[in-house]
Structure 1
Amino acid sequence: MIQGLLLALVAGSLVSMQNVFNSKVNEHTGSWATTALVLGMGFAASLTFGLLFEGGRLFSLENMKPWYWFSGGIGVGVVICLTLGLRLLGPTYAISIVLISQLGSALVWDSLGWLGLSKVPFTFQKLVGVLVIIGGILVFKLGGRGENEAATAETDKTSESRIQSEARGA
């Protein structure tokens, strides 16, 4: 269990770091170029490490359901949405919302047994846990409203204009 906790902590840190890097790449390219670069480099790295550690077993996929292949397309959605969300909301707020969404979705999928997961009973404590996290993010976001409101509004306008111009050019 300790190993799982440590791996989850490392994964969370790496996701946050990757999002900051993606945001910096996106400052020099468009959102789609960032997505292609991130996923292309991820493919190259995972193929290299997979071949090193698993060898010929890497592509042993006989028992995999075909609809699981959509995972790559979902990855495109993750990177493009995070890249644009970070630009509009800033890293901390965007990642906070992502975490709420992940936790809420996982709670629903676990409780209903969707996507091949074992059904886990929904409890009031789980709902309270999600609501506490949502409350914390609201306090974080709304707590210092007067201090940075003008700067945030200007940043939001600039970011929205850039996203709209990218969308028209796509």
Structure 2
Amino acid sequence: MWYLYGFVLLAGVANAVQAGQNGALSKGLSQSLTAGLVVAAGTASCILAVGLASGKLAWPTYAQAMEMPWWAWFGGILGGGIILAQFVVARQIGAAPFLGLLVTAGVVTSIVLDHFGWVGFERHPATLWRILGGILMVGGVALVAMS
């Protein structure tokens, strides 16, 4: 189970690096939305390669598709919004404030999602310690963004 935490840590590092890469790609191309298509193609290629290599790639059956909550199909749109923010905002405010805001907003939102068990998460109460952790993250990102 510990390796899962390592995978998430690597994804966090990749998220910080990706913001710079995507910003440079967006700046280097005449149209920043073209960069979005390049990033989406890279993402799709990566998932396709890993899916084929692992044998864990299959289209859903009609029954599976019909059982899925309607909102589950729109995660890619949210991912596209994150990539657009990388193109537009990251290089202007810097990597630390950008990723600090991104992660802090994610953690604070996650506390709410966990507390109410929304969008498929198991319920985990918003304890005093979790709320305090969120508040400390807000304070931390404010310090990072001020300098």
TM-score (norm 1): 0.76
Following superposition, the deviation at residue 108 of structure 1 comes to 0.8
**Which residue of the partner structure matches residue 2 of structure 2?**
2
- Computing the radius of gyration over CA atoms, which structure comes out larger, 1 or 2? 1
Match of 2:125, SS?
A: coil
List per-residue Cα deviations over 1:40-73 (Å, max 9, x = no partner).
Answer: 111122112211211xx51242335153221222
Amino acid at match of 1:104: V
Question: Structure 2: any 5+ residue segments left out of the alignment?
Answer: none
Tell me the number of residue pairs that the alignment of Structure 1 and Structure 2 aligns: 141
CA distance in 2, matches of 1:107, 1:83: 27
Q: Which has the larger displacement, 43-52 or 66-75?
A: 66-75
* Greater than 4 Å deviation, 4+ residue runs: none
CA gap 1:61/1:31 in 2 versus in 1, 3 angstroms: same
Alignment of 1:8-157 (within 5 A): 8-29=8-29, 30-54=31-55, 57-62=56-61, 63=64, 65=68, 67=70, 68-142=72-146, 144=147
CA distance in 2, matches of 1:2, 1:51: 25
Question: Structure 1: any 5+ residue segments left out of the alignment?
Answer: 145-170
Amino acid at match of 1:17: V
CA distance in 1, matches of 2:15, 2:41: 17
Match of 2:57, SS?
A: helix
RMSD of aligned Cα (Å):
1.6
Match of 1:58, SS?
A: coil
CA distance in 2, matches of 1:66, 1:60: 16
